[in-house]
Amino acid sequence: MKSLGVILALALAGLQLFAVTVVVSSSYFTSENTLLEHARGQLVDVGTNVIQHTKWFMSPARSAAELSTALAENQVVRREERDHLEGLLFQQLRSAPQFAGVYYGDEQGNFVYVKRDGTHEYLTKIVEIGAQRRTQFISRGEDFASIGSHFDAADTYDPRTRPWYQQAKAQRTSIWTDPYIFFTSQSPGITAATPVIGFRGLVQGVVGVDIEIRELSNFLAQLRVGKNGAAFVLNRNGDVIAHPNPALLTTVGEGGTLAFPSITQIDDPIARAAFGERLTPDGVTIETQIESDFEHAGERYVSLIMPFGLDDIPWTIVLYAPEDDFIGTIKANRTQNTLIAIAVAIATAILGLALANRIHAPVRAFAVRSALISQGEIDPNEPMPRTYKVLENANTALVKEISQRKKTETEYRLTFDKASRGMVHIESATGRLLRVNTSFAKLLGYREDELVGLAFQSLLDPDERDVLTEFGDSIAQHAAFGFEAKAIRKDGEPVWISFNGIFFQADGEGENYIVATIDDISQARASEEKIETLNREVAHFSRQHMMGDLATGLAHELNQPLTAITQNIDAALYLIGNAPDRTDEVRGLLGEIDQQAHQAADIIRALRVLVRKDGNIASVFGIRELIEQARRLVLSEARQHSVELVIAKGPELEVSAVRIQIAQVVVNLLRNSVEAIADSASERRVVTVSARQVGDFVQVNVEDTGPGIAEDLELFTPFETTKRDGMGLGLSISRSLVEANGGRIWHDGSSARSCFCFTLPLKGT
């Protein structure tokens, strides 16, 4: 009961847990994907926003530089009108709060520079290259009124040596410098520079506008990227040029100058992780937006890397935010749902236990009731409580099944025991007899119990080697099989049996076994042997005389002269009767001739009759079976000369031919082989017959270990013989018989031994 309850409880709880887990995780993964998708969308929006802002922030600088250049090119302001130029630069400086300074340098090295100096004040620097170089600094108030001025004789500043000047001059168009840290304000900035091109296309000077890009960092600091995310901007060389924490943006670079930190060095590990290993020796080479995930300090983040996509601003923005900013709530929810699932599973387990108890209670009651009935405590006829009905029905079905099985078994046992044929069960692994019936025991003259346990093979004649091998092979192959063999009775007498076995696969732990029926065929065999002897005689007779057309012709031809001889001798006797001298002697001699001649004529007539009697009707038969029968005809002759006749193993092949004619051919070939070996002193004395399928034909080979064909002998030619009493007709008759049956016969000269082959059409071809 305990195990039933526990199994039920566990199964129910497990099922519940599984179902809830499937639902919870499926909904979790779906919403997680949706939210992360949304998060990425948000990052794209923020990124685009930053890029727009930057554009808006930077474009006035270029406009200012280009405006000043236009004015300069059109001679609206000339350098000589220094005050005028300074006023123009001042106006531009005031037009945008992000401008830090505006200036103009020319080809002679003259330089006018207006920059912010404190919150409301301005400072102008003027370098004049006249007969003598002069550098003047003028401080100005908010309204541009001079507050004070001084000269600096030590100043050596030359605008023509500055990168912004050289770059704009070289490219002859507006350029942005790479961001750098402004020396005076120590804050990050960038310069827009535009060349002033004079009359003959010569560069006269360059206008520059400095912008502080700290504002960009401030903007990033105010951005909301998820709850805890951030964004930063990289220059093409991998320097971080804007970051929500501006304090991280300056480091001391080579030669003690201030520089931006590289993304690989910035003191912000999450930012480093967000950009990952994407910095190449060529700098930042990101061309399209990259969405990815990364992990830092055990937390997962979503990230987005976007190139600015503005031709002249080669910057890249990187945005990232912890995944939990977006999916934190559903994660918490998942834990909560899992806890609920566990609680439900526990409740189900308890329910399962209770249910098991309920199921088991009637079974227990039923057992108690049975025990009480068996002890006579309750009357079995008392009506059953309703709960037992189902059990009772199941029980009835089971009992019916058992009795049906018993009945079948009894029937089989009776059939087996009382059968008039011998029946046995044989263990397939060993061939041991497991069970035998009375008829089988009687057949072999044993008691049944003497046979059980004996190997079936031990009951066969040990000379039946082929059968014993076949028996061993068949039981190992678990195949149905049958054979005829000589068995030895308990009293030592031989008895011919026919065996037919079927293989049975054991269903449980038992051994596999064979059920076989065994019949006594001694009588059938005896009559078969009689027929065989008869056959042999007939065959012998036919071999001598069945010569087909040839023999018929021969007989006809012979009959004529023989009749003439008789007539002539009669006449001679008559004449001699009239001559008186030596009459008795001649009469006696001629009388004998007469008698012999009549006898010869009679024999030839008989031969003709026999030839006519042979009904040439084709039938379908197994060639191996026929070879076996032919073998038997030649067996005694072979034994006499110690020659072994072997039939090579192989499947049965059915041919369509006149059976008696083919038997004749096989007997002829076998006899030729036996006679060839008989006349020789060969040590190996074997004739091997084999049959196999070749295309639509069956080919039979008769091969012997005799001396081979004599030299100069023309085989298949009538009257060609090497034998003293041979007729030289066997092979030619065989040829006419085989060809009449649609086959071919030849001697295979390739073998050192003699090998005669013939073919016959397969059944149905």
Q: Which residues bind ligand ADP (CB under 6 A)?
A: 672-673, 676, 704, 706, 708-710, 713, 715, 720-723, 726-731, 754
Cβ distance to ligand ADP smaller for residue 612 or 724 = 724
Pairing status of strand 697-704 against strand 513-520: unpaired
**Smallest distance from ligand ADP to CB 743, Å:** 18
Tell the smallest beta-carbon distance from residue 627 to ligand ADP (Å): 16
Nearest position to ligand ADP, beta carbon: 726
Cβ proximity to ligand ADP, 559 vs 680, nearer residue: 680
* Counts for the chain of helices (H) and strands (E), in that order: 16, 28
List the structure tokens of 676.
Answer: 């060839």
**Is the distance from CB of 315 to CB of 241 less than 8 angstroms?**
yes
Give the Cα separation of 320 and 273 in Å (integer). 10
- Tokens 């401008």 label which residue? 99
How far apart are CB 703 and ligand ADP at their closest, in Å? 9
User: Based on CB atoms, which residue is closest to ligand ADP, 349 or 633?
Assistant: 633
Residues 6+ apart with CB under 8 A from 555: 604, 605, 607, 608, 611
Our CB check for ligand ADP shows the closer of 93 and 729 to be 729
Q: Closest approach of Cβ 638 to ligand ADP, in Å?
A: 13
CA–CA gap between residue 667 and residue 733 (Å, rounded): 12
Tell me, what DSSP letter sits at residue 238? S
Question: What is the closest distance, in whole angstroms, from the C-beta atom of residue 522 to ligand ADP in the complex?
Answer: 36
309: left (phi over 0), alpha (psi -120 to 50) or beta: left
Rounded Cα gap, residues 143 and 220, in angstroms? 33
Distance from chain centroid for Cα 69: 77
Nearest CA among 637, 682, 13 for reference residue 356:
13
- Closer CB to ligand ADP, residue 181 or residue 731? 731
Q: Give every CB contact of residue 744 below 8 A, 6+ residues apart in sequence.
A: 738, 758, 759
Q: Please state the closest distance from residue 682 (CB atom) to ligand ADP, in A.
A: 11
- Torsional class of 435: left (φ above 0), alpha (ψ -120 to 50), beta (otherwise): beta
User: CB-wise, 198 or 708, nearer to ligand ADP?
Assistant: 708
Instruction: Using alpha carbons, select from 134, 178, 170, 141 the residue that is nearest to residue 155.
Output: 134
What whole-number distance in Å separates Cα of residue 51 and Cα of residue 474? Answer: 89
Q: How far is CA 368 from CA 5, 363, 394, 437, in A?
A: 20, 9, 18, 46
Question: Three-class SS string for 431-485?
Answer: CEEEEECHHHHHHHCCCHHHHCCCEHHHHECCCCHHHHHHHHHHHHHCCCEEEEE
Complex with ligand ADP: residue 191 or 754, whichever CB lies closer: 754
Sign of CA dihedral 92, 95, 98, 100: positive
342/715 with CB nearer ligand ADP: 715
Closer Cβ to ligand ADP, 601 or 757, answer by number:
757
Going across the sheet that includes 290-296, the strands are 240-242, 230-234, 316-322, 299-307, 290-296
Residue number, 253 or 707, with CB nearest to ligand ADP: 707
Question: In the bound complex, what is the minimum distance in angstroms from residue 482's beta carbon to ligand ADP?
Answer: 35
Query: Min. distance of Cβ 715 from ligand ADP in angstroms?
Result: 6
Tell the residue number behind the tokens 């042999």, with chain if given.
536
Closer of 70 and 710 to ligand ADP (Cβ): 710
Instruction: Please give the helix or strand (H or E) that residue 728 lies within, else none.
Output: none
Maximum CA extent, the chain: 201
Residue 126's nearest CA partner among 167, 97, 85, 165 is 85
Q: Which is nearer to ligand ADP, 39 or 665 (CB)?
A: 665
Closest approach, Cβ 667 to ligand ADP, in A, equals 11
As a dihedral over the C-alpha atoms of residue 220, residue 226, residue 230, residue 236, rounded to 10 degrees, the angle is -90
Smallest separation, CB 669 to ligand ADP (Å):
7
Closest distance between ligand ADP and the C-beta of residue 553, in Å?
18
Among residues 632, 730, 722, which one has the least CA distance to residue 679?
722
Amino acid, res. 483: F
- Closest distance of CB 531 from ligand ADP, Å: 26
Q: Is 397 helix (H, G, I), strand (E, B) or coil?
A: helix
Question: How far apart are alpha carbons 414 and 433 in whole angstroms?
Answer: 19
Sheet strands (E) in 284-354? 290-296, 299-307, 316-322
In the complex, minimum distance from the CB of residue 509 to ligand ADP, in angstroms, rounded to a whole number: 58
Choice between 225 and 670, CB closer to ligand ADP: 670
Q: Within a 10 A sphere around the Cβ of 696, how many other Cβ atoms?
A: 10
Q: CB nearer to ligand ADP: give 47 or 730.
A: 730
In the complex with ligand ADP, the residue whose CB is nearer, 341 or 729, is 729
Q: Identify which of residues 708 and 761 has a Cβ nearer to ligand ADP in the complex.
A: 708
Min separation Cβ 760 and ligand ADP, Å: 19
Q: Considering the complex, state which of residue 258 and residue 709 has its C-beta at the smaller distance from ligand ADP.
A: 709
Amino acid occupying residue 603: I
Q: Which residue has the tokens 């997962």?
A: 300
Closest separation in Å from C-beta 675 to ligand ADP: 7
One-letter amino acid for residue 24 of the chain: V
Cα-based distances in Å from 724 to 178, 546, 674, 728: 126, 20, 16, 10
CB 680, min distance to ligand ADP, A: 9
CB of 496 to ligand ADP, least distance (A): 33
569 versus 740: smaller Cβ distance to ligand ADP: 740
Strand-pair partners of 433? 426
